Structure formats: structure tokens, C-alpha cells
Amino acid sequence: MSALPATVPVAVVGAGQSGLAAGYYLRQAGVGCVLLDAGSEVGESWRRRWDSLRLFTSAQFSALPGLPFPGHGARYPGKDEVVAYLRDYAERFDLPVLPGHRVLAVRRDGDGYLLSTPHGDCRAGQVIIATGAFGAARIPGFAAGLSPDVPSLHTGDYRGPAQVPPGTVVIVGDGNSGRQVAVELADSHTVVLSCGGSVSPQLPQTVVGRDMFWWMSAIGVMSLPVDMRAPDPIVGDRVPELVADGRIRTVGRITAAEGTELLTADGERVKASAVIWATGYHTDWSWLDPAMLDEAGQPRHTAGVGALPGSYYLGLYRMRTRGSALIGFVGRDAERIVAAAVDAGRGTPTASPTTEGEPS
């Protein structure tokens, strides 16, 4: 498909892993659809990640429905492999992706939805919002106190050590991304890693020769609902051994910036040559119809089924389970959401979605 259709039964907003999974099931069901994506090509959001990034899920648990991830299932693919896989997936199943079609607005229009793009409008009977869990970079307000002489960037803009000037680099945030970057930079820089107040559970990459996600799937953890406030686990972490070797120093939570120094909650001052913000992302939903949002500006939905008829969501962080935003598990939500959309399109009553204890 090369032109934006005037009308379509289902419009999918986003052609990343969530949107592609939705497109697969829509094709399987014989439902006409279009996948509208802001990127210039499939996999662009992955292509922009840092060069050495590797998945913390093995290839066995990094596949979308209908197509195994290539190579041995026990290996951990790099980001370029993910890009190639997503592009192959879209081509293999002839998914109707329209790159360069950022959706500027979604508005309720009669019994359907009107989607506005830079290339025109498209009316859809139903809409699946699959823009994923990562939106705009979140950088704390106190970053404004940092001297302009100290280069800083978010992990979303980090590509490799060559970007970071020599000296002491302070990494603010100790989730999986911050720790992976810290380990990489420890070979070429003095690294200070700021750890937050919450203690994240530490999980090994493998246990008794099997991937941790194999075990979590086997005992049902990946199918259970999860508290949004629970910290994400750190998987396959090498930071402790590098701390023990003196190659990474950890400090407390950063609370302020003054010139070339960062201040921790316990009063320590850390002089920085560069700063990397591993502080996550936030999503702006202002482009959605206000009726689709709650008082806090977040989508109104139950396990991905929107409060407005014909609206659905995929790939949101912990939308339903721990795997809702992970490439190898999002297909489970996609199958369920597309089934709900197909039933609704046929006028078939759909049972209220279950949010705990059900298989996904």
C-alpha cells in the first residue's frame, strides 16, 4: 500500500512490534487495515538505540507471532538484528505499513474515528493505538542547573563511547538501560552510576542453562498482572562485579545540578565531565480525543480495550502483564485485542476482559 486510504475498517497507529503484531492478526482474520507509522522505515525506533544494545530476552522469547526470531534460540540479539527482523516480518506477511505517516490527531467521528496525518485524513471504523511504551525522553527539571560546558544526553540519543568526552561520566538512573551503558563506558571512562531509592530485584540472565524468561513463563509469572509501582527487575547485571573491581562507582539518587556538579540526596557532590540521563520516557497523549482520556490525561481502557467503542491499545507498559511491552510477549495481547475488535465489528458481544489470573 502506497497511498493513505480515505476509509479503512481498522487503523493501527504505530508499526513497531505492537503494531506489526496487531497487523498480523488482522490479516489472519481477513480484516482490512492500515498501519500508520511516524518513522521513515520499519524498525526506526530500534535503529536509533545505542549501537551495542542487546536484548535481555533471548531470541526464543523475542519473536512476534508467526515468525521465529532467526538464529539459535539461546542467544541475545543485538538491536540491528531486531531492526532486520521487524522489516522482514512486515514484508513476509505483506503488512500494509505506511511509513512517514505520523498521526497528528485521533478524533471520534460518528461511530468511527478520524485520523489526521501530514498526508491527509483517514476514517476508520476502529482504531488500535500501538505507539508503544517509549515516548518522549524524560529528563528531570533540575537538569537546567547543569553548566552548558558539561555535555549531556538521554540514553535515547546515546550511540556509543565516542559521543562522550574523556573524564568522569555520571549516569543518572540505574535501570537496565543505565546499567548497560555504564558497563560499556567502564572500558573507556571513569563511570559514576547514580542509583535511585528503590531496590530493583536482580535476575540472572540464565538459570541452570535456561533463559530467565523461560523460567518466568514456565511458572506463569509472565501471564500474571503486575503492580505498576513494582520496580522493574535488572536482568544479567554486570555492574556489581565492575563496582567490586573499582571500574564503576555508585552514588545515591541525584537531586540537583549546580554548574559542573551533581548533588545526591545524601549531600555528596559529584563533578562531571559529561552526564547521561537514563531516566526513562513519558508519553504525551494530547493527540487523542479528550473523550479517550481520563482526568490525568491517560488512555481510558481496561486491559487494552478502550472506554470508547472501537478503541484499543497495545504495547503499553504493564498494560496487562509484565510482557505487555516486550517484543516476545506483546503478541499475546495483540491476539486478544484483535479478537475483541473483530467480535465488536461483527456486533458480537465481547466479555469484559479479565485482568488477573488468566492465561495470556
Residue 92, domain member (yes or no): yes
List the beta bridge partners of residue 36.
Answer: 13, 98
How far is Cα 78 from Cα 162, in angstroms, rounded to an integer? Answer: 19
Same domain for 175 and 91, yes or no, is no
Last residue of a domain, one of 277, 298, 315: 277
Angle between helices 79-92 and 17-28 (to 10 degrees): 20
Cα torsion 358, 327, 322, 12: sign: negative
Give the 3-state secondary structure percentages of the chain, helix then strand then coil, rounded to 5.
25, 25, 50
Question: Percent of the chain beyond pLDDT 90?
Answer: 71
pTM of the predicted model as reported, rounded to 2 decimal places: 0.86
Alpha carbons 2 and 304: distance in angstroms, whole number: 29
What's the pLDDT tens digit per position in 302-344?
999 999 999 999 999 878 888 888 899 999 999 999 999 999 9
Say if residue 46's pLDDT is above 60. Answer: yes
The DSSP secondary-structure symbol of 108 reads: E
Cell reading at 357: 489470573
Residues 209-263: tens digit of each pLDDT: 787 887 788 887 787 777 666 667 677 678 889 999 999 999 999 999 999 999 9
* Nearest CA among 205, 203, 137 for reference residue 172: 137
> Could you tell me if residue 355 is inside a domain?
no
Classify residue 56 as exposed, middle or buried by CB count within 10 Å of its CB (0-12, 13-18, 19+): buried
Please count the helices (runs of H) and the strands (runs of E) in the chain.
Answer: 7, 23
For the chain, what is the domain count? 2
Confidence tier at 133 by pLDDT (50, 70, 90): low
Q: What percent of the chain has pLDDT over 70?
A: 91
DSSP state of 13: E
- Give the lowest-confidence range in 26-35, 132-141, 156-165, 188-197: 132-141
Task: Please indicate, yes or no, whether residues 53 and 157 belong to a single structural domain of this protein.
Answer: no
- Domain-ending residue, one of 242, 258, 277: 277
CA 165 to the chain's CA centroid: 28
- In this structure, are 163 and 125 located in the same domain? no
Single-letter code of the amino acid located at 21: A
pLDDT of residue 198: 59
Cα separation, 357 vs 230, whole angstroms: 18
Answer whether 275's CB lies under 8 Å from 262's CB.
Answer: yes
**Is residue 1 pLDDT above 80, yes or no?**
no
Structural domain contains residue 1: no
Is 223 in the same domain as 162? yes
Angle formed at CA 171 by CA 167 and CA 173, multiple of 5 degrees: 170
Find residue 171's DSSP bridge partners: 193, 276
Grid coordinates given for 51 = 549501537
Residue type at position 178: G
Q: Are 275 and 170 in contact (CB under 8 A)?
A: yes
Q: Residue 228's pLDDT is what?
A: 60
Q: Is the domain of 232 the same as that of 176?
A: yes
Query: What pairs with residue 270 in β-bridges?
Result: 262
Q: What is the pLDDT of residue 205?
A: 75
User: What is the rounded CA–CA span in Å between residue 150 and residue 298?
Assistant: 35
Tell me if 180 is assigned to some domain. Answer: yes
Mean pLDDT of the chain: 89
Tell me, yes or no, whether 16 and 121 share the same domain.
yes
Structural domain harbouring 223: 140-277
Letter for the amino acid at 92? Answer: R
pLDDT at 352: 36
What is the average per-residue pLDDT within 160-180? 93
Q: Which amino acid, one-letter code, is at 130?
A: A
Instruction: Give the C-alpha separation, 288 to 139, whole Å.
Output: 24
Q: Is residue 359 part of a domain?
A: no
Do 330 and 214 belong to one domain?
no
Residues 112 and 166 in one domain: no
The model's pLDDT over 111-130, given as tens digits with 9 standing for 90+, comes to: 999 999 999 999 999 999 99
Among 73-77, 80-84, 175-179, 318-322, the minimum mean pLDDT is found in 318-322
